[in-house]
Amino acid sequence: MARFMGRSWAARMFPGRRPRSRRRERPEVAGRRFRSWLNVRSVAGQVFILQLVIVLLLGAAATIALVLQVRHDATDEARGRSVAVAEAFANSPGIVQALHSPNPTKVLQPKAEAVRKRSGLDFVVVTNDKGIRYTHPKLNRIGKHYVGNIEPALHGHTTVDTGPGTLGEAMDAVAPIFDRNHKVVGLVGAGITIKKVSGLANRQLPLLVGAVSASLVLATGGTALVSKRLRRQTRGLDPIEMTRMYEHHDAVLHSVREGVLIVGDDGRLVLANDEASRLLDLPPRPEGRLVDDLGLEPHVADVLASGRDVTDEVLVAGDRLLAINNRLTDRAGGPPGSVATLRDSTELRALSGRAEVAQKRLKLLYDASVEIGTTLDVSRTAEELAQVAVDRFADFVTVDLAEPVARGDEPLVVGGVEMCRSAVHGIRPNHPFYPVGRVFAFVPSSPQAFGLSGGEPVVEADLSEATGWQAQDPEQTAKVIEYGVRSLVTVPLRARGVLLGVVNFWRMKQREPFEQEEVSLAEELASHAAVCIDNARRYTREHTMAVTLQHSLLPRALPSQSALDVAFRYLPAESGVGGDWFDVIPLPGARVALVVGDVVGHGLHAAATMGRLRTAVHNFSTLDLPPDEILSHLDDLIARIDQDEGPGGPNGDGSGGGGGSEGITGATCLYAIYDPVTRRCTMARAGHPPPALVRPDGSVEFLDLPAGPPLGLGGLPFETAEAELAPGSHLVLYTDGLIEDRRREIDTGLEMLRRALSHPARTPDQICTEVLDALLPSNPSDDIALIAARTRVVGADRVASWEVPSDPAAVSGVRAEVMRKLAEWGLDEAAFTAELVLSELITNAIRHATGPIRVQVLRDRALICEVSDSSSTSPHLRYAATMDEGGRGLFLVAQFAERWGTRYTSDGKVIWAELAIP
């Protein structure tokens, strides 16, 4: 065993040479040492790091103090200025009169902008007591709700708050506007954005950054001076210090767990540390002997004496595996020879083998967590489990689920329940197992049945000897053994304490059979897959329930009517259900109402809300109201539902039955009424996309309807618009899911819809098909409802009308004219009933109404008799007493007519009755 002996070893190894610390330094070495003060291990480097940390800490503290102080001062100033401007503007002369003027925005917007510019604020906003803006720096925000808390201001208090706004994060003050009765009639909000306040502090940062940079430059220069002085003081070492240094080197060399050998250029061993002697089993005091005479393995001695570079070459030395590295020592002016290092890799190789196996298993589990459960489909999840385990863990994988689970239903007790083969995957496309979709039951002796009953995995190392497994299906199991399948691990699929099915891992004869230690990996795979399958099953069940509810609420067939040829399409979103709906509602007078709407949100709540709105539309339509009034009723209905079902209930304390359920956030709707007699279409919309009109020549126009706010917001009335439609025109109504998509803007969608519609001579069904082909997204995220309606016209030969004077004597003449017209139409059998009904309606109009009276008879699917007058008084059906001389007219009308009712017009009302045509 060789050891360093201070200068003695140096003299033998480097004869005639001074220690390296006293030799003249070469220029490149000196350059490297000049830069050594940057090394954190040196004293100079440590001084530099300390100075750098101190300067950075002081700079950071100064920056934080500056920013906080300036922001605090700027915030106080912004708060005071915002309050002053808001209160001054709220108490300015004439503001109350401006709020009550016909156009408050016209009066207040110039004043508010002038005050905002003079005060340096970002916004001065005036609202009414409902929070609707009359002024705003951005004109498109006028008419919308004020963003912020206005409740304290509505109670007469001036508030200052910081929060998100239309211009960004802002500090705003809200002051109330009082009338002469000290009642709050409006609000004034004034404020400044946080970004503008923070900008005051940013202007002070350059000076501070410059000061910190100068400090860093001074610290760098000081560190360089310290390093230079230290180098000057340590260039020479005396013999005692050198001896101590070599003794330390000697101690370190023999304490490391790596063998070190130094071989001279003559092939003799110069040095061997303790670890090298142990690994190579060297004789005592081997220094000075030839490497070939040390009794080493020939290939080991050849590497040590060859003088060639070797990197991590593994050699066998006795019962050890040694990793050898060999380097020459004369590359940087050192003495000739080589130095070799030895590492014992025997145990490391065994550990690395086990670590490699563990790493592969961890990689398999990680891939399983990523690749299993990518969709909420039960069958697809079972296939992903089979695919991720094949080849890396098993040669074939089969997944069998309880038959109710495969359908997405609640799992039953699995024992004795029929199973459905849900997935089969393997290293070969052909296989001897049951195909996917096969329904069967496990026999009690099979390992799968044992696993399901006990809830534990079962291993069959040799299937040729597994009689219980072979009893499942002797003919089929014989094919499996003949195919070459050797072993099996079957693991129950358990999730949330419920057994869903079983997964089977199979190995061929070419691989080692499954061992007990591999069961834990199979359980991990099955456990993760079971949770994913259960999630998919629960989603499938809930989605099926929601879709069933949604489809039950939508119209299943179109009603019979003669005004329009209608075709429709309804496509639900790929995930979840929405609140889109449509309707075709026949109205009196051969008219037809087209309705399309969209409830915001998805899920059961949106579908249920859609059903309630559709029912409400039907009920309101029976009143024969104009479109704008129907939308107003729907708006009130949604507001009441939202109040009752909101988090606080109608009383604000949760006592209204809401119970914290999800509130309605709004809905859109388009309601259109087409009259085939006048060819006029009356429409109104509430936040819904405009309808498209396709003329007979193929030109397309998006009708310019007043937009109106979405339902549930309230505050603004709805407006109607009328359009005269040419015969054969197409009216196309749709929901926003058709034109909006995450990959395109709404304007792009409208232009695509225009191009898809601009083709003449197509049926409504062809229009629906071609529009969906052109615009349907690949993965629709929202429901799509589409209606295409081609207009028809009731010809003049099927309509007759007469003006009736306000004279009872004129009734007989009108009856005679009506009878002649019915005879022309071949309706003699209905003449008596029509004569009776018209007599009662005309007589009532003459007796109770004023102004001109008009009678119209229309032949459609039924005979429609209408009497219009200028009175807005609605008749009421009542039972006349025995002695009453009148009061039986409407009772007779109701008895003889199929339907009857009243609708109001801008000039009065129309009383109508529909009589069956024999």
The pLDDT value recorded for residue 505 is 95
- Whether the pLDDT of residue 427 is over 60: the answer is yes
Looking up tokens 């300015």, which residue turns up? Answer: 92
DSSP bridge pairs for 903: 910
Nearest in space to 510 (alpha carbons), one of 487, 530, 493 = 487
Q: Is the pTM of this model over 0.75?
A: no
- Whether the pLDDT of residue 5 is over 60: the answer is no
- Whether the pLDDT of residue 251 is over 80: the answer is no
pLDDT class for 12, splitting at 50, 70, 90? very low
DSSP bridge pairs for 790: 565, 730
Instruction: Give the H/E segment covering residue 285.
Output: none
Higher pLDDT, 59 or 595: 595
The pLDDT value recorded for residue 455 is 85
The pLDDT value recorded for residue 628 is 92
Nearest in space to 783 (alpha carbons), one of 836, 835, 738, 825 = 738
Q: With helix as H, strand as E and coil as C, how does 746-775 read?
A: HHHHHHHHHHHHCCCCCCHHHHHHHHHHHH
Looking up tokens 């920013």, which residue turns up? Answer: 67
- The bridge status of strand 396-402 relative to strand 419-426 is antiparallel
Alpha-carbon gap, residue 137 to 122, rounded angstroms: 8
- Whether the pLDDT of residue 613 is over 80: the answer is yes
Q: What percent of the chain is predicted at pLDDT more than 70?
A: 82
The pLDDT value recorded for residue 589 is 87
pLDDT class for 660, splitting at 50, 70, 90? very low
∠ CA(44), CA(47), CA(50), 5° rounding?
Answer: 150
Relative orientation angle of helices 378-389 and 346-371, to the nearest 10 degrees = 160
The pLDDT value recorded for residue 237 is 47
**754 touches 700 (CB < 8 A):** yes
Per-residue DSSP letter, 282: P
- List the single range of 149-163, 220-234, 460-474 with lowest mean pLDDT: 220-234
- List the single range of 230-234, 325-329, 572-576, 824-828 with lowest mean pLDDT: 230-234
Higher pLDDT, 735 or 918: 735
pLDDT in tens, 681-716: 999 999 999 999 999 999 999 999 998 899 988 777
**Dihedral angle computed from the Cα positions of residues 420, 423, 424 and 427, in that order, rounded to the nearest 10 degrees:** -170
User: Which residues neighbour 464 within 8 Å (Cβ) at sequence distance 6 or greater?
Assistant: 481
User: Which residues neighbour 584 within 8 Å (Cβ) at sequence distance 6 or greater?
Assistant: 555, 558, 559, 561, 564, 566, 568, 592, 593, 594, 595, 787, 789
Please name the amino acid found at residue 417: V
Q: What are the distances in angstroms from CA 412 to CA 400, 401, 403, 418, 502?
A: 14, 11, 9, 10, 14
Phi, psi of 225 (to 5 degrees): -65, -40
- Whether the pLDDT of residue 719 is over 70: the answer is yes
pLDDT class for 333, splitting at 50, 70, 90? low
User: Which residues neighbour 874 within 8 Å (Cβ) at sequence distance 6 or greater?
Assistant: 902, 909
Looking up tokens 């995220």, which residue turns up? Answer: 781
The pLDDT value recorded for residue 165 is 67
**693 touches 739 (CB < 8 A):** no
The pLDDT value recorded for residue 384 is 93
Residue-averaged pLDDT of the chain? 80
Q: With helix as H, strand as E and coil as C, how does 79-99 read?
A: HHHHHHHHHHHHCCCCHHHHH
- List the single range of 79-93, 230-244, 479-493, 587-601 with lowest mean pLDDT: 230-244
Relative orientation angle of helices 604-622 and 519-553, to the nearest 10 degrees = 0
Q: Find the mean pLDDT for residues 658-663.
A: 46
Higher pLDDT, 34 or 386: 386
**1 touches 271 (CB < 8 A):** no
List, as one string, the DSSP characters of 678-736. TTEEEEEEESPPPPEEE-TTS-EEE------PPBT--SS----EEEEPPTT-EEEEE-T
3-state secondary structure at position 551: helix
pLDDT in tens, 265-301: 888 888 888 878 878 878 888 888 888 888 788 878 8
Write down the H helix ranges in 471-513: 474-483
pLDDT in tens, 783-815: 889 999 999 998 888 899 888 888 777 888 888
Note the Cα 239 to chain centre separation in Å. Answer: 76
pLDDT in tens, 466-513: 999 999 999 999 999 999 999 999 999 988 878 899 999 999 998 888
- Whether the pLDDT of residue 1 is over 50: the answer is no
Q: Find the mean pLDDT for residues 759-778.
A: 90
- Whether the pLDDT of residue 887 is over 80: the answer is no
- Whether the pLDDT of residue 763 is over 50: the answer is yes
Higher pLDDT, 750 or 154: 750
Q: Which two tokens stand for residue 529?
A: 């897959």
Q: Which two tokens stand for residue 724?
A: 């005269």
Q: Which two tokens stand for residue 382?
A: 């079972």
- Whether the pLDDT of residue 425 is over 80: the answer is yes
Q: Find the mean pLDDT for residues 339-355.
A: 68
3-state secondary structure at position 120: coil
Q: Which two tokens stand for residue 486?
A: 């050797």
Phi, psi of 55 (to 5 degrees): -65, -45
Per-residue DSSP letter, 24: P
Alpha-carbon gap, residue 202 to 850, rounded angstroms: 78
Q: Find the mean pLDDT for residues 318-327.
A: 78
Note the Cα 877 to chain centre separation in Å. Answer: 56
Q: What are the contacts of 755-762 at 24+ separation with CB within 8 A?
A: 757/692, 757/694, 757/700, 757/730, 757/732, 758/694, 758/698, 758/699, 758/700, 759/698, 760/696, 760/697, 760/698, 761/698, 762/730
Q: Which two tokens stand for residue 35?
A: 């830069």
DSSP bridge pairs for 374: none
The pLDDT value recorded for residue 692 is 95
3-state secondary structure at position 341: strand
Per-residue DSSP letter, 463: G
pLDDT in tens, 394-406: 999 999 998 888 7
**264 touches 272 (CB < 8 A):** no
- Whether the pLDDT of residue 413 is over 60: the answer is no
pLDDT class for 542, splitting at 50, 70, 90? confident
Q: Find the mean pLDDT for residues 564-584.
A: 84
**39 touches 286 (CB < 8 A):** no
User: Which residues neighbour 489 within 8 Å (Cβ) at sequence distance 6 or greater?
Assistant: 394, 457, 458, 459, 460, 504, 505, 514, 518, 519, 522
Q: What are the distances in angstroms from CA 835 to CA 462, 662, 848?
A: 96, 56, 20
Q: What Rg, from alpha-carbon coordinates, does the chain have?
A: 46
**Strand order across the 168-178 sheet:** 123-128, 184-193, 168-178, 159-165
- Whether the pLDDT of residue 592 is over 90: the answer is yes
Higher pLDDT, 382 or 243: 382
**326 touches 350 (CB < 8 A):** no
Q: What percent of the chain is predicted at pLDDT more than 90?
A: 23
The pLDDT value recorded for residue 42 is 57
Compute how many other C-beta atoms are within 10 angstroms of the C-beta atom of residue 798: 16
DSSP bridge pairs for 161: 172
Compute how many other C-beta atoms are within 10 angstroms of the C-beta atom of residue 348: 13
Compute how many other C-beta atoms are within 10 angstroms of the C-beta atom of residue 144: 16
On the 0-12 / 13-18 / 19+ scale of CB atoms within 10 A, 346 is middle
User: Which letter, b or e, does each residue of 192-204 get, where b requires 16 or more Cβ atoms within 10 Å of its Cβ?
Assistant: bbbebbeebbeee
Instruction: Give the H/E segment covering residue 312.
Output: strand 310-317
The pLDDT value recorded for residue 888 is 60
Note the Cα 591 to chain centre separation in Å. Answer: 43
Alpha-carbon gap, residue 675 to 793, rounded angstroms: 8
The pLDDT value recorded for residue 201 is 54
The pLDDT value recorded for residue 4 is 40
Alpha-carbon gap, residue 295 to 301, rounded angstroms: 9
- Whether the pLDDT of residue 238 is over 60: the answer is no
**597 touches 623 (CB < 8 A):** no
pLDDT class for 14, splitting at 50, 70, 90? very low
